[in-house]
Structure 1
Amino acid sequence: MSVFERYLTLWVALAMIAGMAIGVLSPAMIDAIATAEVANVNLVVAVLIWAMVYPMMVGVDPGALRNVVRQPKGIAITLAVNWLIKPFTMAALAVLFFEGVFADLIDPADAQQYIAGLILLGAAPCTAMVFVWSQLTRGDEGYTLVQVSVNDVVMIFAFAPIVAFLLGVTDIAVPWTTLVLSVLLFVALPLAAGVWTRQRLGTPERIETFRNRIKPWSVIGLIATVVILFGLQGQVILDRPQVIALIAVPILIQSYGIFALAYAAAWALKVPHRIAAPCALIGTSNFFELAVAVAISLFGLNSGAALATVVGVLVEVPVMLSLVAFANRTRARFA
Structure 2
Amino acid sequence: MGVFERYLSVWVAAAIAIGVALGVMFPPLFELIAKAEVAHVNIVVALFIWVMIYPMMVQVDFSTIKEVGKNPKGLMLTLIINWLIKPFSMAALGWLFFEGLFADFVSPETAQEYIAGMILLGVAPCTAMVFVWSQLTKGDANYTLVQVSVNDIIMIFAFAPIAGLLLGVSDIHVPWLTLMISVVLYVLLPLIAGVLTRKALNNSAQNEAAVQSFLEKVKPYSVIGLLATVVLLFGFQANTILAQPLNIVLIAIPLVLQTYGIFVITYFIALKLRLKHNIAGPACLIGTSNFFELAVAVAISLFGLHSGAALATVVGVLVEVPVMLSLVAIVNKTTHWFKE
Instruction: With the length of structure 1 as denominator, give the TM-score of the two structures.
Output: 0.99
SS for the counterpart of 2:127 is: coil
> Which residue is 1:161 aligned to?
161
Q: 1:1-335 counterparts in 2 under 5 A?
A: 1-202=1-202, 203-335=207-339
Aligned mates of 1:42, 1:161 — CA distance in 2: 23
SS for the counterpart of 1:174 is: coil
> How far 1:169 sits from its partner (Å)?
0.1
SS for the counterpart of 1:172 is: coil
Aligned mates of 1:108, 1:169 — CA distance in 2: 15
Aligned mates of 1:32, 1:215 — CA distance in 2: 29
SS for the counterpart of 1:173 is: coil
**Structure 1: 5+ residue runs without aligned partners?**
none
Deviations 1:277-313 (A, max 9, x none): 0000001110000000000000011100000000000
Aligned mates of 2:226, 2:92 — CA distance in 1: 28
Deviations 1:192-212 (A, max 9, x none): 000000111111000111111
Matching residue's letter, 2:149: S
Aligned mates of 2:158, 2:266 — CA distance in 1: 20
How many residues align? The count is: 335
Aligned mates of 1:66, 1:34 — CA distance in 2: 44
> How far 1:232 sits from its partner (Å)?
1.0
Deviations 1:5-30 (A, max 9, x none): 00000000000000000110000111
Aligned mates of 1:85, 1:298 — CA distance in 2: 24
Aligned mates of 2:70, 2:300 — CA distance in 1: 39
Aligned mates of 2:224, 2:32 — CA distance in 1: 20
Deviations 1:13-70 (A, max 9, x none): 0000000001100001111111100111100011111000000000000101111111
Aligned mates of 1:65, 1:253 — CA distance in 2: 32
**Structure 2: 5+ residue runs without aligned partners?**
none
> How far 1:221 sits from its partner (Å)?
0.6
Percent identity over the alignment is 64
Aligned mates of 2:233, 2:4 — CA distance in 1: 20
Aligned mates of 2:147, 2:275 — CA distance in 1: 14
Aligned mates of 2:76, 2:62 — CA distance in 1: 18
Aligned mates of 2:213, 2:21 — CA distance in 1: 37
Instruction: With the length of structure 2 as denominator, give the TM-score of the two structures.
Output: 0.98
